[in-house]
Chain A
Amino acid sequence: MTPSDDSQLIERCRNGDREAFDELVRRYERQAYNLAYRLAGNYDDASDVVVEAFVRAFQGLHTFRGDANFGTWLHRVVVNTFLDMRKRSKGRQHVSLEEQLELDGDTLTRQIEDTSPGPQELVEQEEREEVLQRAIAQLSPDRRILIVLYHFENLSYEEIAQMLKLPVGTVKSRLNRARLALREILEPSRELFGR
Chain B
Amino acid sequence: MRCEHFRELISAYIERSIAPPLAAKMDEHAAECASCRAELEGVRELWQMMAEAKRVEPPVSLHSRVMQEVYASVPAAPAPRWWELAWRPRFAFAVAAVLAVLALVIWSYNTQSNAIALSVVSGGGSPVSPVAVSTLPTRFEPFLTDDGDLRWMLKMNASHPTSVEVVAGAQAVWSGSVAQETTAVLPAVPQGAVLDVRVVWDGSNVLRAWLPAEISQEQRKPVLVLKQRSIEETLAHIARAYGVPLVLVGETDPLTRVNLESTGVALDEMLTRLAEKLDLQISRAEDGTTVLTAR
Contact = CB atoms under 8 A, between A and B. Distances in A.
A17 B200 CA distance: 12
Given A18-B175, A50-B58, A180-B43, A25 B67 contact: yes
A158 interface: no
B8 A176 contact: yes
A193 B177 contact: no
A152 interface: yes
Interface residues of B, number: 41
Contacts, number: 113
A116 to B, nearest CB: 12
Given A19-B177, A59-B73, A180-B7, A29 B66 contact: yes
Interface string B152-186: 00000000010100000000000111110010000
A22 B153 CA distance: 14
A31 B73 CA distance: 23
Contacts of B54: 129
A62 interface: no
A176 B11 contact: yes
The B interface, classified by DSSP as helix, strand, loop or mixed, is helix
B57 interface: yes
Interface string B55-80: 11111001101110111010000000
Contact of B70 (A33, A58, A195): A58
B66 A50 contact: yes
A179 interface: yes
Contacts of B73: 55, 58-59
Contacts of A34: 55-56
B175 to A, nearest CB: 7
A18 B66 contact: no
A176 B12 contact: yes
A37 interface: yes
Given A17-B176, A17-B177, A18-B175, A47 B59 contact: yes
Contacts of A50: 58, 62, 66
A175 interface: yes
Contacts of B71: 18
Interface in B102-148: none
Nearest to A54: B66
Contact of A12 (B45, B46, B177): B177
Interface of A: 12, 16-22, 25-26, 29-30, 33-34, 37, 43, 47, 50-52, 54-55, 58-59, 128-129, 132, 147, 151-152, 172-173, 175-176, 179-180, 182-183, 186-187, 190, 193-195
Listed from nearest, the 6 A-B pairs whose CB atoms lie closest are A18-B176, A33-B58, A151-B50, A176-B11, A17-B177, A183-B42
Interface of B: 7-12, 39, 42-43, 45-51, 53-59, 62-63, 65-67, 69-71, 73, 161, 163, 175-179, 182, 227
